[in-house]
C-alpha cells in the first residue's frame, strides 16, 4: 500500500503531555501483580464451585420452563439425585457438568416444552401430533434449531394453562419446520417424555456413562 501523504503520528489514548513517574509506574506494577493473584484465586473458586452454579442454573431452567407442574417436580428430583451422587463421590465434576449441560444448553427441556404445548386445551388430534412431532425433532439436535426458537419463546410467554386458541397461531410455523425435517425421514408420533429422557441421562451419569460434552457453539 502507498503510504505517501499518510499521517505517521502514533495513535495515543489520553493526553500525551502527561508522563507516568517512577513511583506511578511501581504502583501500576503492584496493581497488575495483585490483579493476577485475584484472577488466579477467582479461577480456583470458579473450578471449586462450578458444580454449585451449574446445579443452581439447571434448577432455574426447570423452574421457569413451561412444563406440567408434575414434570417440573420430577425433573427437580432428578437434579437432586445428581447432586447427591456428587456429594457422596459417586459422580465427578466432569460427569455432573456434562449431565447439567443437557438441561441448561441442550434440547431436553425445550422438547419437553413443545410436548407440553401439545396438551393445550382445545387442540384436535392432528394439531397435537404436530407439536409432538416437533418435540421429537428438536430432541434429536444438540441445540435448539434457530427456526424453533421463536416458537419456544412464544410458548414461554403464554399464561398457564395453555389454551388451544393461543398456540394454534404457531401451527403454520410448526408445519413449515416439520415439512423441512420430513425430508430427512419420518418423524415419530408418540409423546416425548421429558421426565423419562432426563431419568435416562441421570441413570447413565450415575453409572459412570455420562453423556459427552455438547460441542461448542
Q: Which of 12-26, 81-95, 158-172, 176-190 has the lowest mean pLDDT?
A: 12-26
pLDDT of residue 106: 93
pLDDT (tens digit per residue) in 26-82: 444 455 555 555 545 443 434 445 778 889 999 999 999 999 999 999 999 999 999
pLDDT of residue 30: 56
3-state secondary structure of 16: coil
**Residue 22 located in a structural domain:** no
Do 141 and 111 meet the contact criterion of CB atoms below 8 Å apart?
Answer: no
> Rounded to 5, what percent of the chain is helix, strand, coil?
65, 0, 35
pLDDT at residue 8 tops 60: no
**Residue 36 located in a structural domain:** no
Average pLDDT, the chain: 80
pLDDT (tens digit per residue) in 85-123: 999 999 998 999 999 999 999 999 999 999 999 999 999
DSSP letter string over 62-77? HHHS---HHHHHHHHH
3-state secondary structure of 127: helix
Q: What is the DSSP letter of 163?
A: B
**Residue 23 located in a structural domain:** no
**Residue 3 located in a structural domain:** no
The residue behind cell 415439512 is 179
Separation between Cα atoms, residue 123 and residue 103, nearest integer Å = 28
pLDDT of residue 36: 56
Whole-Å CA distances, 17 to 9, 11, 165: 15, 14, 69
**Residue 43 located in a structural domain:** no
pLDDT of residue 216: 82
Residue span of the structural domain in which 178 resides = 50-206
pLDDT at residue 15 tops 90: no
**Residue 172 located in a structural domain:** yes
From the number of C-beta atoms within 10 Å of its C-beta (0-12, 13-18, 19+), residue 108 rates as: buried
From the number of C-beta atoms within 10 Å of its C-beta (0-12, 13-18, 19+), residue 198 rates as: buried
**Residue 5 located in a structural domain:** no
pLDDT of residue 2: 42
**Residue 75 located in a structural domain:** yes
Number of domains in the chain: 1
Amino acid at each position: 500500500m502507498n503510504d505517501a501523504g499518510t499521517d505517521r503520528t502514533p495513535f495515543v489514548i489520553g493526553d500525551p503531555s502527561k508522563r507516568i513517574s517512577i513511583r506511578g509506574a511501581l504502583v501500576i506494577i503492584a496493581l497488575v501483580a495483585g490483579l493476577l493473584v485475584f484472577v488466579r484465586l477467582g479461577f480456583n473458586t470458579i473450578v471449586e464451585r462450578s458444580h454449585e452454579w451449574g446445579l443452581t442454573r439447571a434448577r432455574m431452567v426447570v423452574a421457569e420452563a413451561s412444563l406440567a407442574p408434575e414434570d417440573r417436580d420430577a425433573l427437580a428430583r432428578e437434579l437432586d439425585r445428581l447432586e447427591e451422587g456428587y456429594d457422596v463421590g459417586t459422580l465427578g465434576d466432569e460427569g455432573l457438568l456434562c449431565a447439567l449441560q443437557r438441561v441448561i444448553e441442550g434440547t431436553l427441556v425445550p422438547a419437553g416444552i413443545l410436548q407440553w404445548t401439545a396438551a393445550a386445551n382445545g387442540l384436535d388430534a392432528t394439531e397435537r401430533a404436530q407439536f409432538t412431532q416437533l418435540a421429537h425433532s428438536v430432541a434429536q439436535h444438540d441445540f435448539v434449531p434457530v427456526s424453533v426458537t421463536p416458537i419456544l419463546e412464544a410458548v414461554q410467554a403464554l399464561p398457564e394453562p395453555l389454551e388451544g386458541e393461543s398456540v394454534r397461531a404457531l401451527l403454520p410455523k410448526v408445519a413449515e419446520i416439520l415439512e423441512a425435517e420430513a425430508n430427512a425421514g419420518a418423524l415419530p408420533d408418540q409423546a416425548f417424555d421429558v421426565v423419562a429422557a432426563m431419568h435416562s441421562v441421570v441413570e447413565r451419569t450415575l453409572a459412570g456413562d455420562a453423556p459427552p460434552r455438547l460441542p461448542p457453539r
